[in-house]
Amino acid sequence: MHRFTFHRFWAIVLKEFIQMKRDRVTFGMMVGIPLMQLMLFGFAINSDPKHLPTAIRAADQGPFTRSFVEALRQSDYFKLVRETDSEAEAARLLQLGEVQFVINIPPDFSRRLLRGERPTVLIEADATDPAASGPALAAARSLAAGILDRDLTGPLARLRSRAGPVDFEIHAHYNPENITQYNVVPGLMGVVLTMTMVVITALAITRERERGTMENLLATPVRPFEVMAGKILPYIAVGYIQVTLILLAARLIFDVPMVGNLVLIYAVALVFIAANLAMGITFSTLAQNQLQAVQMAFFFFLPSILLSGFMFPFRGMPEWAQWIGACLPNTHFLRIVRGILLKGSGVSDILPELWPLLLFLAVAMTVGVKRYRQTLD
Amino acid sequence: MSSDPAADLVIDVAGITKRFGDKTVVNAIDLQVRRGEIYGFLGPNGSGKTTFIRMLCGLLTPDAGSGTCIGCDVRTQQAEIKRNVGYMTQRFSYYEDLTIRENLDFICRIYDVPDRAAAVRRSLERLGLEKRSHQLAGQLSGGWKQRLALAACLIHSPRLLLLDEPTAGVDPKARRDFWDEIHGLAADGLTVLITTHYMDEAERCDRLAYIAYGNLLARGTLDEVIARAGLSTWTVAGPDLRGLAAALRGRPGVEQVVAFGNTLHVSGRDAANLRAAIDAVRDPRHEWAQAEPGLEDVFISMMDEAKDNFR
């Protein structure tokens, strides 16, 4: 008698689909948000910035200086925009942010070089944003070793840099060219789904309460689980549209490699979408109105984007932050998606990340159903 | 019809109590409603009418008391009750972004009504809304929304109809049509419990109950309620009624002085004291006559008394 019945569940599903169809703005947002995020994150964000504005203050105009500057330019990290002789002007450029680096070549550069005295070139960096200056500085360090080897010919060959006692051989797996999009675009799938799915169900139930339709629904024989499941199913379809959009963009626009099994992606996405929808429903049982529901969803969204490893390296965070991150479904979903797409992970590889997702889904759904029961009493 | 009177009770509850925090909203109410009866439920705003109805239809569980609604226990068989009761909420609570037909179809699916398409068609025909069935419910006027809500809570052929202020904000013509419909349904054997603030509607009920501050103060037929209240009422006509009203108010025995057009209605429960008070202000220019107390006089008198006793 108190069992789940299909006709009641289906009644809710159909109603939600009709309401979704009528609410064009919300539906447009469901499709628009992933596209917008793809454009923003996919095209605009680059964690390996190049062509950074650089000023040169060369007190020595010899041929070695010219070769040195040319080599820096060739590295792609530095774009020479100014030349100056004044230390004050160089400082001002850095202060104003017109250049990211000032490269100071000392007056006796060529002379000391020829004498084998290892002259020092001072690179001043605007290091307010370590992410912006870091890669270029790392490149400069490695350039210093062999930068002038080509010019040091004949008797000067003795000045060439000698190899260190140990050689590193580095194999950068899965993303050898360090292309940001390979990391960001698959990660976006979790971010977009978290952003939209939590809000949509949080609103779907508070809206019923605000409009007074909830009282009617509760007065019918429909069971809490039928309402929850019936409200979740249509949005799983929406979530799948988003997943498909992102996968298509990853493939066609960003050329992200897809080593693994796409069916597995869709299967895991089902769990992840349901987990977020259940979270939204739990929020909706706590919120008094739609505004509060959106605010709660936002509280969930912020750590999901900041502590999940999407924006910043997970292992770089302090341990307490990693613990919070580990409780968020997005953290695990990100690893699974990146694993499947870039590393070709199979079912057994993703199990350690899959069970936290299932656990989260079970807890959110239970809390949601429990709290939904109490809404009128 | 069954010969056993108990089997004919659609609602039979005793001692029903509901508290929210330390506030007792419904205090030990007993109520019996017979099959095919139109039972009027009256009382001031916030008197606990809605809470009581919600306990009858399985939306709330009583804190104390017991009983049956359509033969099912109000504490344990709420699922059965929900299947066989039609509940029309105070506020329109169908989906404004669904069409009339979609709303009816949704309710049919929820209740698993057999032959859904035919049920929806019958309902639309009865409403006279076949041509507008694709209109969004949110675009309907108040009167039509109310008719749609009634049609929707009848679609699963309930045995009991609970109507919570169904005619609030509806024009007189639509109200009259609505009541004709209710009487037609009751004639077919449906039991109706209806809350209202309108005295003319109360007079159209078979029996009445009056509730204030969670307590049931009176019940019975219209005549019984009026007779039991023991209220004496006089009417007076003549010049300077306003001055007369001021002179009467506050005298012992005078409980209500109400102006009705060119007459004053003066009432009180203590007939002798009331008589004495009237004699004290009597003036030959005024025409006094003893009258039947109206339902409104009775209810206002009860409310004042309840205020003294329970607040």
pLDDT digits (tens, 9 = 90+) for B285-297: 889 999 988 888 8
pLDDT for A377 equals 58
Testing the interface with A: which of B77, B93, B156 to mutate, by most A Cβ within 10 A?
B93
Closest chain A residue by Cα to residue B97: A19
Pick the residue with more confidence: A156 or B191?
Answer: B191
Together in a domain, B185 and B200:
yes
Q: Is B19 part of any domain?
A: no
B172 is a domain residue: yes
Question: Is B59 close to A19, i.e. CB distance below 8 A?
Answer: no
Averaged over B76-97, what is the pLDDT?
Answer: 93
Do the Cβ atoms of A215 and B60 come within 8 Å? no
Domain ranges of chain A: 6-45+179-373, 52-159
Reported as a single tens digit per residue, the pLDDT across B239-259 is 888 889 998 988 888 988 988
Instruction: Say whether residue A22 is in contact with chain B using an 8 A CB cutoff.
Output: yes
Q: Do B94 and A15 touch (CB under 8 A)?
A: no
Nearest to B87 among A212, A219, A376 (CB): A219
**A215, A226, A376: best mutation site toward chain B, by most B Cβ within 10 Å?**
A215
Does residue B306 fall inside a structural domain? no
State the average pLDDT over residues A167-196. Answer: 86
Residues B194 and B92 in one domain: yes
CB neighbour list of residue B227: distance below 8 Å, 6 or more residues apart:
none
**Residue in chain B nearest A19 by alpha carbon:** B97
Contacts of A220 in chain B (CB under 8 A): 82, 107, 110-111
| Domain identity same for B171 and B277 | no
* Residue B3 pLDDT > 50: no
pLDDT > 60? residue B6: no
**pLDDT of A324:** 94
Query: For position A198, what pLDDT does the model report?
Result: 92
Specify which residues A55 forms β-bridges with: A82, A102
- Mean pLDDT over the full length of chain A: 87
Out of A160-174, B270-284, B292-306, pick the least confident.
A160-174
Write the pLDDT tens digit of every residue in B134-193.
Answer: 999 999 988 899 999 999 999 999 999 999 999 888 888 989 999 999 999 999 999 999
Which chain A residue shows the shortest CA-CA distance from B112? A7
Longest CA–CA span in chain A (Å) reads 98
Q: Which domain holds residue B281?
A: 232-292
For residue B177, give the CATH number of its domain.
3.40.50.300
Distance of alpha carbon B44 from alpha carbon B211, whole angstroms: 8
- pLDDT above 90 (res A156): no
Partner residue facing B109 (CB), from A7, A23, A215: A7
A219/B59 CB distance under 8 A = yes
- Judged against a pLDDT cut of 50, whether residue A67 lies above it is answered with yes
Q: Is A178 on the interface with B (CB under 8 A)?
A: no
Answer yes or no: do B247 and B189 share one domain.
Answer: no
Q: In this predicted structure, what is the pLDDT of residue A189? A: 92
CB-nearest partner of B54 from A14, A221, A376: A376
Per-residue pLDDT band for B2 (boundaries 50, 70, 90) equals: very low
Q: Judge whether residue B105 has pLDDT over 90.
A: yes
pLDDT of residue B150: 93
B251 and B142 co-located in one domain? no
In a domain, B203, yes or no: yes
Residue A205's pLDDT band (cuts 50, 70, 90): confident
Which residue among B60, B95, B110 places its CB closest to the CB of A376?
A: B60
Confidence at residue B303, expressed as pLDDT on a 0 to 100 scale: 82
Question: In chain B, which residues have their Cβ closer than 8 Å to the Cβ of A2?
Answer: 79
- Please list every residue in chain A whose beta carbon sits closer than 8 Å to the beta carbon of residue B94: 213, 216
- pLDDT 10s digits, A18-57: 999 998 888 888 888 888 888 888 888 777 788 899 999 9
- Predicted pLDDT at A319: 94
Residue A376 contacts B where some CB pair is shorter than 8 Å: yes
pLDDT at residue A82 is higher than 50: yes
The DSSP line for A188-256 is: HHHHHHHHHHHHHHHHHHHHHHHHTHHHHHHHSS--HHHHHHHHHHHHHHHHHHHHHHHHHHHHHTS--
Q: Of B180, B209, B226, which one is at a domain's C-terminal end?
A: B226
Q: With respect to residue B107, please indicate whether it lies within any of the assigned structural domains.
A: yes
pLDDT of amino acid A2:
58
Residue B54 lies in a domain: yes
Q: By the CB < 8 Å criterion, does A25 face chain B?
A: no
Tell me whether A317 touches chain B (CB under 8 Å). no
- Residue B70: which pLDDT band, with cuts at 50, 70 and 90? very high
Residue B174 lies in a domain: yes
Cα A252 off chain centre by: 19
| pLDDT at residue A373 in the model | 65
**Can you give the CATH number for the domain in which B244 is found?**
3.30.70.100
Distance of residue B110 Cα from the nearest chain A Cα, in angstroms: 5
Q: How far apart are CA A219 and CA A233, in angstroms?
A: 23
Rounded to two decimals, the pTM is: 0.82
B237 in the same domain as B217: no
B138: which chain A residues are within 8 Å (Cβ-Cβ)?
Answer: none
The pLDDT assigned to B82 comes to: 92
Token representation of residue A186: 């698959």
Residue A64 has pLDDT above 90, yes or no: no
Class of domain A52-159: alpha beta
Q: Has residue A288 got a pLDDT over 80? A: yes
Provide the shortest C-alpha distance from residue A337 to chain B (in Å): 37
**B48 and B108 co-located in one domain:** yes
Per-residue pLDDT band for B5 (boundaries 50, 70, 90) equals low
Chain B residues with at least one Cβ partner in A under 8 Å: 54, 57-61, 79-80, 82-83, 85, 87, 89, 91-98, 102, 106-107, 109-112
Please say whether the dihedral angle defined by the alpha carbons of residues A197, A199, A205 and A211, taken in this order, is positive or negative: negative
User: How far apart, in whole angstroms, are the C-alpha atoms of residue B24 and residue B34?
Assistant: 27
pLDDT at A150: 67
**Res A1: pLDDT:** 44
pLDDT in tens, A121-149: 899 999 888 888 888 888 888 777 766 66
The answer to whether position B105 is within a domain reads yes
Give how far B96 is from chain A: nearest CA, Å.
9
Minimum mean pLDDT range among A41-55, A293-307, B94-108, B109-123: A41-55
What's the domain count of chain B? 2
pLDDT, residue A116, reads 79
Among A2, A7, A9, A8, which residue's Cα sits nearest to residue A233?
A: A9
